[in-house]
């Protein structure tokens, strides 16, 4: 229903969208009588987001908008992967919130699942709020998964700044950052790839972000606060891998 306009509610309002990081949550597959459940799920997401640093401390830089879209579901379930037409979701979000910086689709499904490309997609599973913040890490901050179940990383060096093939902490992208090292496993591989700390929201849903991910999220939020945060999907590029001035200095 490309031309439809739906009620839009700003559930977390911290100021002008051109100087804030604006998250837009779209309903997908909800009937008019189910919008209370959608609103409740968005409240749970906001509570989880603000309980997760650095979003909590920097909450004054974040707006959250809810688009009460009604209509048949468009999400596709494949195992634990729940996806939508990302271009359609982006168009719908921007039609309602032109300054949308991150788009999250909440699919009216009970199964556990999610995904993130340029938009994050979730179901109404009880873990959805925790998973939503993880998927937002992918979609809006270009962070890699830090879990790894099996296999050796085939290379090349990942472009995402929270994982590396470098095993020497002094040469890792996060070298010099307090509390970091090189912990094996990440980017979905068990070995041959390293992350900065043992735990992170990009590895385990119940955990906070590691210091590397938190630093990148903070950087992007601050860019938005200065009015320099261009829309995450078009032209915010991932942080160059610098910190140390050696071969990771691609700036
Ligand atoms: Zn991390």
pLDDT tens track for 44-62: 999 999 999 999 999 999 9
**Rounded CA gap, 48 and 225, in Å?**
21
Please, which residues have CB within 8 angstroms of residue 82's CB and are 6 or more apart in sequence? 75, 76, 107, 109, 111, 113, 114, 115, 121, 122, 123
Please, which residues have CB within 8 angstroms of residue 76's CB and are 6 or more apart in sequence? 82, 83, 84
**Rounded CA gap, 63 and 12, in Å?**
5
Q: Which chain residues have CB less than 5 Å from ligand 1, an ion?
A: 162, 200, 202, 210, 213
CA of 179 to the centre of ligand 1 (A): 12
Q: Which residues of the chain have pLDDT under 70?
A: 1-3, 230-251
CA of 251 to the centre of ligand 1 (A): 21
The structure tokens listed for 145 are: 């998964």
Query: Structural domains in the chain?
Result: 8-141 (3.40.390.10), 145-251 (no CATH)
pTM here is 0.88
Q: In terms of Cα–Cα distance, which of 121, 148, 153, 150 is closest to 134?
A: 121
């Amino acid at each position: 229903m490309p031309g439809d306009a739906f009620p839009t509610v700003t559930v977390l309002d911290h100021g002008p969208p051109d100087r804030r990081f604006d998250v837009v949550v779209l309903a997908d597959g909800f009937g008019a009588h189910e919008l209370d459940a959608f609103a409740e799920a968005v409240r749970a997401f906001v509570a989880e987001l603000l309980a997760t640093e650095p979003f909590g401390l920097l909450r004054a830089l974040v707006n959250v908008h809810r688009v009460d879209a009604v209509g048949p579901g468009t999400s596709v379930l494949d195992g634990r992967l729940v996806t939508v037409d990302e271009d359609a979701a982006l168009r719908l979000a921007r039609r309602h919130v032109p300054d949308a910086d991150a788009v999250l689709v909440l699919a009216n499904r009970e199964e556990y699942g999610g995904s993130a490309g340029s938009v994050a997609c979730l179901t109404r599973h009880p873990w959805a709020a925790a998973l939503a913040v993880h998927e937002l890490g992918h979609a809006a901050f270009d962070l890699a998964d830090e879990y790894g179940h099996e296999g050796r990383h085939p290379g090349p060096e990942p472009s995402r700044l929270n994982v590396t093939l470098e095993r020497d902490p002094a040469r890792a992208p996060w070298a010099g950052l307090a509390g970091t090292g090189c912990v094996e496993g990440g980017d979905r591989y068990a070995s041959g790839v390293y992350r900065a700390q043992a735990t992170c929201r990009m590895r385990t849903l119940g955990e906070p972000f590691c210091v590397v991910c938190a630093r990148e999220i903070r950087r992007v939020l601050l860019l938005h606060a200065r009015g320099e945060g261009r829309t995450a999907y078009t032209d915010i590029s991932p942080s160059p891998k610098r910190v140390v001035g050696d071969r990771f200095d691609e700036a």
